[in-house]
Amino acid sequence: MTKVVTMGEIMLRLSTPGFERFVQANSFDAIYGGGEANVAVSLANYGFDSYFVTKLPEHEIGQAAVNELRRYGVNTDYIARGGERVGIYFSESGASMRPSKVVYDRSNSSIAEAIVEDFNFEEIFKDAKWFHISGITPAISKSGAEITRAAMKAAKEAGVMVSIDLNYRKKLWTPEEAQEVMRDLMQYVDVCIGNEEDASLSLGFTPKGLDVTSGKINIEGYKQILKEMKEEFGFKYVASSLRESYSASDNGWSACIYDGKEFYQSKKYDVRIVDRVGGGDSFASGLICGLLDGKSTSDALEFGVAASALKHTIKGDFNHMSRSEVQTLVDGDSSGRVQR
Amino acid sequence: MTKVVTMGEIMLRLSTPGFERFVQANSFDAIYGGGEANVAVSLANYGFDSYFVTKLPEHEIGQAAVNELRRYGVNTDYIARGGERVGIYFSESGASMRPSKVVYDRSNSSIAEAIVEDFNFEEIFKDAKWFHISGITPAISKSGAEITRAAMKAAKEAGVMVSIDLNYRKKLWTPEEAQEVMRDLMQYVDVCIGNEEDASLSLGFTPKGLDVTSGKINIEGYKQILKEMKEEFGFKYVASSLRESYSASDNGWSACIYDGKEFYQSKKYDVRIVDRVGGGDSFASGLICGLLDGKSTSDALEFGVAASALKHTIKGDFNHMSRSEVQTLVDGDSSGRVQR
Amino acid sequence: MTKVVTMGEIMLRLSTPGFERFVQANSFDAIYGGGEANVAVSLANYGFDSYFVTKLPEHEIGQAAVNELRRYGVNTDYIARGGERVGIYFSESGASMRPSKVVYDRSNSSIAEAIVEDFNFEEIFKDAKWFHISGITPAISKSGAEITRAAMKAAKEAGVMVSIDLNYRKKLWTPEEAQEVMRDLMQYVDVCIGNEEDASLSLGFTPKGLDVTSGKINIEGYKQILKEMKEEFGFKYVASSLRESYSASDNGWSACIYDGKEFYQSKKYDVRIVDRVGGGDSFASGLICGLLDGKSTSDALEFGVAASALKHTIKGDFNHMSRSEVQTLVDGDSSGRVQR
Amino acid sequence: MTKVVTMGEIMLRLSTPGFERFVQANSFDAIYGGGEANVAVSLANYGFDSYFVTKLPEHEIGQAAVNELRRYGVNTDYIARGGERVGIYFSESGASMRPSKVVYDRSNSSIAEAIVEDFNFEEIFKDAKWFHISGITPAISKSGAEITRAAMKAAKEAGVMVSIDLNYRKKLWTPEEAQEVMRDLMQYVDVCIGNEEDASLSLGFTPKGLDVTSGKINIEGYKQILKEMKEEFGFKYVASSLRESYSASDNGWSACIYDGKEFYQSKKYDVRIVDRVGGGDSFASGLICGLLDGKSTSDALEFGVAASALKHTIKGDFNHMSRSEVQTLVDGDSSGRVQR
Amino acid sequence: MTKVVTMGEIMLRLSTPGFERFVQANSFDAIYGGGEANVAVSLANYGFDSYFVTKLPEHEIGQAAVNELRRYGVNTDYIARGGERVGIYFSESGASMRPSKVVYDRSNSSIAEAIVEDFNFEEIFKDAKWFHISGITPAISKSGAEITRAAMKAAKEAGVMVSIDLNYRKKLWTPEEAQEVMRDLMQYVDVCIGNEEDASLSLGFTPKGLDVTSGKINIEGYKQILKEMKEEFGFKYVASSLRESYSASDNGWSACIYDGKEFYQSKKYDVRIVDRVGGGDSFASGLICGLLDGKSTSDALEFGVAASALKHTIKGDFNHMSRSEVQTLVDGDSSGRVQR
Amino acid sequence: MTKVVTMGEIMLRLSTPGFERFVQANSFDAIYGGGEANVAVSLANYGFDSYFVTKLPEHEIGQAAVNELRRYGVNTDYIARGGERVGIYFSESGASMRPSKVVYDRSNSSIAEAIVEDFNFEEIFKDAKWFHISGITPAISKSGAEITRAAMKAAKEAGVMVSIDLNYRKKLWTPEEAQEVMRDLMQYVDVCIGNEEDASLSLGFTPKGLDVTSGKINIEGYKQILKEMKEEFGFKYVASSLRESYSASDNGWSACIYDGKEFYQSKKYDVRIVDRVGGGDSFASGLICGLLDGKSTSDALEFGVAASALKHTIKGDFNHMSRSEVQTLVDGDSSGRVQR
């Protein structure tokens, strides 16, 4: 099996049942997830030898996070144990014109307070083929940024492909702080994933006329920005998912990619949403899977988009779709007929 | 804080889980609600000092109703205690072409058997700015009608703005009975809310060519009826929500208002329904909020419509939306993007 | 009351809650159902004296299946008891482009291992007016085929109308095996129900250009096939439901019938799906009800289609709709307005 | 099968989950039960052809009550349909020194407003062997008392054995009212069941030194009262369950009977309580089963006591124990070892 | 109504359902509670005008905590809003010899980071009769200790009775740190509650031969320590609950008090535990209620012990028992007979 | 880490919620477990490198079983995939004198139809220190017996310690069939675990005066039988758990062992039962852990008994107790005090 590594934070997501608002909830569904952990699970689902690197407390809540990763086939041998807390976020699911809402309570988590010495990157990247990370980990703390840089550098030195999902989070840092850290990290990146907003806020590219609340996609703007990003940082691939938010219940979902030669725009899916958290992560993991499989740029893109369209129909952060299930959709069957 | 008063019945709603039909249900969700109580909770959510007046038994089921009001910030100091029972209604949620269904079991509730002397209206309306009631309370019993009239009269004498939601209920009385009571009450009303059907059945206005099952709105018919109502009863404002029932799952939702000078028709929202019970009440409370805030007629209308469109996405009778959340929708963001 | 008989398997359906995938589930909803049992329950709902014939183990799981039938008014006096197990199937509900999925675990069930002597067909069909069966029972085992044939023969001899739903199941037999058994059984059939796929796989009719994943209906092809089937086997009626699978969440639903004189195509409903399992069975039972009631061919068809459109909005296999609720939809009210 | 008839009220019990108090509950378990209905279900479980007679509304909540009886094998053919409501009671489960609590909301139920003409007693008692009723039905309304008397008279005339469970309910009538009605009804009774409190309040027998809160049983007092009751009213059997309430979680449970010749006291069981509602009814039905089976007085008593001890371990009003399961306990195995 | 004030932290308790261990849980019950908040709710239940003082974030999780207090009648007008997080603790319920377990995640909560200026103590204590606090608040942070001291001082100056529950928490501070803060605070205390362990660790009193794991109570040791505490600090009353931990399922529960004249030991209850969290708080609130009511020392003690014995039978932190329900147990009825 | 191997069947346990009987259940908790799988999970909990060997279908229900093992740290690399079904058993929890009940539906499971060639025993036992199996696997099918024998032989040849839990299952084979297979397998066994009943039925030892329903333990009888077993088969250790079934809710629990020199009887625990399924397996795994740790015979025994006493307090088959939690109980703290 091909060894792949992701690193980041796995959080406890406390999700209100059904469409309950926070103030109505008498219980929370306990879901574990987080950008990179979601990628790790998807890659395990696709049959890769998927390792997730993080730090978690030794107590039972930390253990439960480890267990959820193991349950879905992720190798947890490189997870450091210690620190005080598992980062938490509360979520409620929107519907129609009522947006979903997230309340973060992630400060001082074990991974945010981890240090570079908690991890043996030489061992971690030994024989690995791919390393994926997001722009969240460098944002959670100063040491988070240091760990991210150390990991990317070690991966690069070990000859591992490196992908990043820019994932700008405005609750964690300002655009200025982000750009100072992120632009420096780009030297290690082979595959960069991020939408116009991320490109602007994390890397300082100026999007033209982007209005994320309009639900319209300016595809020419994307084309230009992806090319500029590629030129400035020398990425092998630069890609973006394209979400059209008609409402909290229905989205258009597609993606585009530029590989230095061609710009591809994928098929668009109209998705009825069960849970959109982790949609971007499932695109990243689908794309990585396609590229690791040696698919063409456009085929890898279509695999990533189909994977992530399907994710929107699954409760929780993780994308519980197998490789063959994704391929069936890529091959054109979106009829939803019962599989007996 | 501005003191506002609503009066009516709060019932125990026993709601089947999910889309279960009554004959399938092994449990009921216990929800408390009722036309005026729903308005009271919304007004508390918008920051008003909201009092709800009713009568409830002293036993624990009555207490649970009080508690649910307190939980959401409603002042329950004026609630009389006594009598035998909390009115009950059973509800199941429809989907697609299967309608939602309600079975009432509300006879002989404490408020239906209450008497005028149970309430000290002088104290209740002291320093109050608004009094809201519906056409349900006068329909539940003869003494209910007497209490309603006494309350409206006292409110008027105390200089309080009075609004009514006509809310004709055919299980409670005939059009003849309704009109005899309701036409008399109109003398105390400043703001009258009701659709064509209510206007016809409660007040005797003849709607022209209205077919509530067609899902089409005859806006010219509404314009004319609202003007006629205004003329006959001297309301300051007369308004109606406009529901287009495409199916039990999807409705068009808008509203119109006439203020004696202009007739306004609001923006229309296409709502994917989570729970449509309380939709009209959330329109009333949103409109009242807008008017109390001193908004223009059309702005108050838009606030009311946005509030009630959002209500359709929330489980239960109460509209758990804050003033700023409603305003965001009024301001045009219906993209449903995750609020982090 | 008119006595009607159905025979087949009732299974324990273990259904994941909400939209959970199998690997996420920590509990299963326990639902009992199966093609013919679903028909039996519908016919009981419509007021017929509905008997269901099967064999079930004596243990409590078998008893629970009996109880669920009794609960919904089905007479269980002819159910043989014995054998080892209740057939099981696991189901998860799809959404949007993710299909629903079924995992069968039905081998060696009591009915699959039953023998002809377990049933007294003379008594069973005494005074009965209708007998319904599906193509599943002859497929579950060799003795299942024998029992089916014996039952159909006995029904025919007793002057009972016989209907069959072809229901080809590829997990149970090959087209060759199916045709050998099914073509022989057709001699006893008055009313044959089955789509193009069933006609092809169970009876060997060649559908022209049918692509079940395209979501498009070739109505001329259906017209021709129904006529050919009628001609070859001498059915009184031959009918098919017409499903257009836009996605796992939304389907178009209609049906057609040929009575030897006219070919009728019904109104089409666009259904938002709650649970599509049992959709075909509810069409069969609605059509049977219409024919037993002496409705015209097209009226019976419309009753069947309305009944089954409504089934898609109900959780579980059974169609918990009364005769009058179905008729309301037939009569044109699909507005889904709350029934108070 | 032996035909047995019970008559009375079946209510909707709304029970808080687990040990929740009313004010904590966000949902209610929907349980159907009531003194005589509980007896009817037990007798069906024991293999009798058990008919339950009552009146229930035509709406879906009434239907759900019918369905629950059918589910457990009770024949519902004699249930009249009409009236407005199903009687309701709310219950919360106590624990340790916190008592269970019941809030009744049963006024104006369909059976309370039924009239003698709603029932065809000649048909009902045709070929019946036993008729059981309780002291609750005559207490719910004046017409309830009339129906009870008419039924008992008709049963007697039809040569049916008549049993009554005195079941005094202080919320429904005063001792004076009770005695006026109940003493008259005793002329039709063959088997009378009731504890000291019932004997005192319903029939006017003076218990000596009974303190129901002490948890102690005065067996000599019981012996004397049973004999006096037998002498005054000429019962064939007079019996009483004997509850020792150590706490809401643990009770001692036994019974005694006098058959005119001997006074028997049963074995005592110490029960860990899951749900004690219906404990007395399960004693009555066990005793009736024993007597119908032709057991000796003491064997019938032991069967009744074992049956009702087991009831305390079952959630809900109904006693879901088979004849053989009860017999196993009678035969001495109370080890609770897993039955594989 | 008599105004009483409590101050401290209200946390979100995430409790595994039933007896699930943390690693098994797929959801958490969302319960709000905390030492002083529990006292505030009890005092509201007993009919006092109960104010709770704390600081909570403005976001919806903070609001949900406010709402839960309001639901049960606590006045939340003095709650400051701001800061980042609601303190959290995870809990699982033990059984038999498996102990309950708590994982704290309470650092950096809003109240831990609050400052004295967040509260207007003059207004808070105006017309108040009692102020209750615990040893937890001064332990959560340096500013927590300052706020506690400021509040106690202000209460004392306003002539308000002050009670404290020592509640030593070893996760929050060392005995040395505790004693430095706590001994100083004792100057403001009228009623001190704490067991031997608290007395030792918070105040430096040497318990003699106390072994909390033995389940035995050394009553003479308690007597001596309470007297010493009274002498050193001049308390009006010093009291302790006495828990005998037979197992996680069964405890003996009593209490003792010294009022400067007499030492009283209460009746002992053997409790079957539903949820023991908040047991000590319910003793404190019961005792406070008794003293505020002007009961004798021993009667107040018995009221407190009965109240807290009952708490052990209730899920959650709050003690949902009314004054009359507690009194019934004080008066000797622990039979647990159903209250109809 | 020390490598340990267990082999057998993991089943899907469908467990009714709470204390519901099968006929009441509307859902089932989905629990995975089975004698040897339970041992595998415990050993992983204790920190061993625990491998479980079985065969499971490739479909999602099979995958869910794999996932549950991985979740709790069991290595699933040696699990063969294929076959048709996961064995199922239905369970309901008894209470007081009502026994728990199990309905098996395990025939034709993948492991029952597996063949020796499905497993590479050389690789499986490479570097392993312990192999545990039970008497269930050889009983499920002829090939099950062959696989068991092949595995035990291979383990022996690889120098691995072999333990067996006799676990006679009367639904799977007769004593004669059992003895023919089991007596032969004993040649490979180092540690034999089984009670008097197992010894008699599986191995043909005559227990003297054993009455498993009496709840009494005949310790001298055990002593003698263990010695005889040791002598006949040359075991290193022979042990038995000792269950005293007071009721379905309360058991006495202890164990004894004979190591060829001394016979030890452990401390006895009185357990309040949450779920007794897996009690014996948790004793086996605790004992194995103690022996692998090099504890003395009696210390290993006490560790096993404490572990399994704790298991009775945990829902599900698996024993979610850590090594240190078990040790705390061994060391004498059974007070159940909250662990904060």
D83-105 confidence digits (pLDDT tens):
999 999 999 999 999 999 999 99
Neighbours of A191 (CB within 10 A): 23
Chain F residue with the nearest C-alpha to that of A340: F59
- In angstroms, the Cα distances linking E191 to B191, E1, E54, E132, E225 are 56, 22, 21, 9, 15
Q: Say if D197 is an interface residue toward chain B (CB within 8 Å).
A: no
Instruction: State whether E336 and D169 contact (CB < 8 Å).
Output: no
- What's the gap in Å between the CA of E23 and the closest CA on chain A? 5
Instruction: State whether C96 and A312 contact (CB < 8 Å).
Output: yes
- What's the gap in Å between the CA of E340 and the closest CA on chain D? 5
The architecture (CATH level 2) of A3-329 comes to 3-Layer(aba) Sandwich (3.40)
> What is residue E196's predicted lDDT score, i.e. its pLDDT?
87
CA atoms within 13 A on the CB side of A187: 10
Instruction: State whether E71 and B73 contact (CB < 8 Å).
Output: no
CB of A9 closer than 8 Å to CB of A140: yes
Q: Say if D95 is an interface residue toward chain E (CB within 8 Å).
A: yes
d(CA A14, CA E87): 14
Residue E216 has pLDDT above 80, yes or no: no
Query: Which candidate in D21, D27, D107 is best for mutational testing of the B interface (most B CBs within 10 A)?
Result: D27
d(CA A245, CA A241): 12
Structure tokens at E257: 């008090």
Instruction: State whether E97 and F269 contact (CB < 8 Å).
Output: yes
- Render A301-318 in DSSP notation, one character per residue: HHHHHHHHHHHTTSSSSS
Q: Which of E249, E205, E200, E212 is nearest to E95 (CA)?
A: E249
- In angstroms, the Cα distances linking D242 to D223, D284, E301, E313 are 12, 13, 35, 26
- In angstroms, the Cα distances linking C192 to B332, C165, C184, C232 are 55, 6, 13, 12
- In angstroms, the Cα distances linking E183 to A102, E131, E200, E205, F116 are 43, 18, 11, 11, 73
d(CA F288, CA F301): 9
Q: Say if E97 is an interface residue toward chain F (CB within 8 Å).
A: yes
Query: Which candidate in B96, B169, B217 is best for mutational testing of the C interface (most C CBs within 10 A)?
Result: B96
Average pLDDT over residues A263-290: 97
Q: Say if E159 is an interface residue toward chain D (CB within 8 Å).
A: no
Q: How far is CA A294 from the centre of its chain?
A: 21
Per DSSP bridges, beta strands F3-7 and B237-245 are unpaired
Q: How far is CA D150 from the centre of its chain?
A: 20
Chain F residues close to A73, C-beta within 8 Å: 67, 70
CB of A222 closer than 8 Å to CB of A256: yes
Q: Say if A27 is an interface residue toward chain B (CB within 8 Å).
A: no
Per-residue confidence band for B207, with pLDDT thresholds at 50, 70 and 90: low
Q: How many helices (H) and strands (E) does chain F have?
A: 11, 15
Per-residue confidence band for A215, with pLDDT thresholds at 50, 70 and 90: low
pLDDT tens profile F87-121: 999 999 999 999 999 999 999 999 999 999 999 99
User: Which residue bears the tokens 């676990």?
Assistant: F167
- What's the gap in Å between the CA of E300 and the closest CA on chain B? 26
CB of C270 closer than 8 Å to CB of C240: no
Residue pairs spanning C and F at CB distance below 8 A? 72
User: Which residue bears the tokens 């967040």?
Assistant: E118
Per DSSP bridges, beta strands A161-165 and A191-193 are parallel
- What's the gap in Å between the CA of F170 and the closest CA on chain C? 16
pLDDT tens profile B144-157: 999 999 999 999 99
> What is residue D153's predicted lDDT score, i.e. its pLDDT?
98
Query: Which candidate in D24, D88, D90, D96 is best for mutational testing of the E interface (most E CBs within 10 A)?
Result: D96
Q: How far is CA B300 from the centre of its chain?
A: 16
- What's the gap in Å between the CA of F73 and the closest CA on chain A? 7
- What's the gap in Å between the CA of F74 and the closest CA on chain A? 9
pLDDT tens profile B228-246: 999 999 999 999 999 999 9
| More confident: B339 or A155 | A155
> What is residue C207's predicted lDDT score, i.e. its pLDDT?
62
> What is residue C309's predicted lDDT score, i.e. its pLDDT?
97
Chain A residues close to E90, C-beta within 8 Å: 60-61
- Render C132-145 in DSSP notation, one character per residue: EEESSHHHH-HHHH
| Sequence-ordered alpha helix ranges (H) in chain F | 35-45, 60-71, 121-125, 137-140, 142-157, 175-185, 196-203, 219-233, 279-292, 297-311, 323-330
Chain C residue with the nearest C-alpha to that of D67: C71
CB of A23 closer than 8 Å to CB of B320: yes
d(CA A181, CA A8): 16
Chain C residues close to B215, C-beta within 8 Å: 335
> What is residue A339's predicted lDDT score, i.e. its pLDDT?
84
Low-confidence ranges of chain C (pLDDT < 50): none
CB of E82 closer than 8 Å to CB of E35: no
Structure tokens at E116: 């004295």
Nearest to A336 among C20, C94, C169 (CB): C94
Q: Which of B9, B43, B49, B107 is nearest to B307 (CA)?
A: B43
Chain E residues close to F336, C-beta within 8 Å: 94-100, 245-249
DSSP 8-state class, residue D110: T
Chain F residues close to D314, C-beta within 8 Å: 19, 21, 98
Neighbours of F157 (CB within 10 A): 12
Instruction: State the virtual CA torsion across F27, F28, F29, F31 in degrees, nearest 10.
Output: -160
Nearest to C336 among B23, B98, B214 (CB): B98
pLDDT tens profile E50-78: 999 999 999 999 999 999 999 999 999 99
pLDDT tens profile A62-99: 999 999 999 999 999 999 999 999 999 999 999 999 99
> What is residue E215's predicted lDDT score, i.e. its pLDDT?
59
Structure tokens at B102: 């309600």
d(CA D281, CA D134): 9
CB of E221 closer than 8 Å to CB of E210: yes
Per DSSP bridges, beta strands E128-134 and E161-165 are parallel
Chain B residue with the nearest C-alpha to that of E320: B60
Element (H, E) at B222: helix B219-233
d(CA C171, CA F224): 56
d(CA A317, CA F96): 43
Chain E residues close to B49, C-beta within 8 Å: none
**Nearest-5° Cα angle at C166, C161 to C170:** 155
Task: Write down how long chain D is.
Answer: 340
Phi-psi region of A127 (alpha: psi -120 to 50; beta: other; left: phi over 0): left
Residues 61-80 of B with CB under 8 A from E: 67-68, 70-73
3-state secondary structure of C117: helix
DSSP 8-state class, residue B86: -
> What is residue A267's predicted lDDT score, i.e. its pLDDT?
97
**CB within 8 A of D208, min separation 6: which ones?**
D218, D221, D224
Q: Say if F98 is an interface residue toward chain D (CB within 8 Å).
A: yes
Average pLDDT over residues D160-171: 96
Per DSSP bridges, beta strands A3-7 and A128-134 are parallel
The chains in contact with chain E, meaning 3 or more Cβ pairs closer than 8 Å, are A, B, D, F
Q: How far is CA D297 from the centre of its chain?
A: 19
Radius of gyration, CA atoms only, chain C: 19
ipTM exceeding cut-off 0.85 for this assembly: yes
Quick one: CA dihedral E29, E30, E31, E34, positive or negative? positive
pLDDT tens profile E126-174: 999 999 999 999 999 999 999 999 999 999 999 999 999 999 999 999 9
- Render F177-200 in DSSP notation, one character per residue: HHHHHHHHHGGG-SEEE--HHHHH
pLDDT tens profile A161-213: 999 999 999 999 999 999 999 999 999 999 999 988 899 999 998 766 555 55
- Percent of chain D with pLDDT strictly greater than 90: 91
Q: Which of F132, C14, D25, E28 is nearest to A29 (CA)?
A: E28
CB of A185 closer than 8 Å to CB of A152: yes
Q: Does domain C3-330 have CATH number 3.40.1190.20?
A: yes
Residue E238 has pLDDT above 70, yes or no: yes
CB of F129 closer than 8 Å to CB of F292: yes
Nearest to A313 among C96, C101, C102 (CB): C96
Q: Which of C310, C182, C191 is nearest to C257 (CA)?
A: C191
Structure tokens at A236: 């092998």
Instruction: State whether E71 and B68 contact (CB < 8 Å).
Output: yes
- What's the gap in Å between the CA of D171 and the closest CA on chain E? 8
Angle in degrees, 0-180, between the axes of helices C279-292 and C35-45, rounded to the nearest 10: 40
Structure tokens at E242: 């006495």
Q: Say if D23 is an interface residue toward chain E (CB within 8 Å).
A: yes
Average model confidence (pLDDT) for chain F?
95
Query: Which candidate in F68, F70, F76, F339 is best for mutational testing of the A interface (most A CBs within 10 A)?
Result: F70
With b meaning 16 or more CB within 10 Å and e meaning fewer, what string describes B121-142?
beebbeebbbbbbbbbbbbbbe
Instruction: State whether F336 and E20 contact (CB < 8 Å).
Output: no
The chains in contact with chain D, meaning 3 or more Cβ pairs closer than 8 Å, are B, C, E, F
Neighbours of F324 (CB within 10 A): 8
Amino acid at F87: G
- What's the gap in Å between the CA of F130 and the closest CA on chain C? 31
Chain E residues close to F314, C-beta within 8 Å: 19, 21, 98
- What's the gap in Å between the CA of D9 and the closest CA on chain E? 17
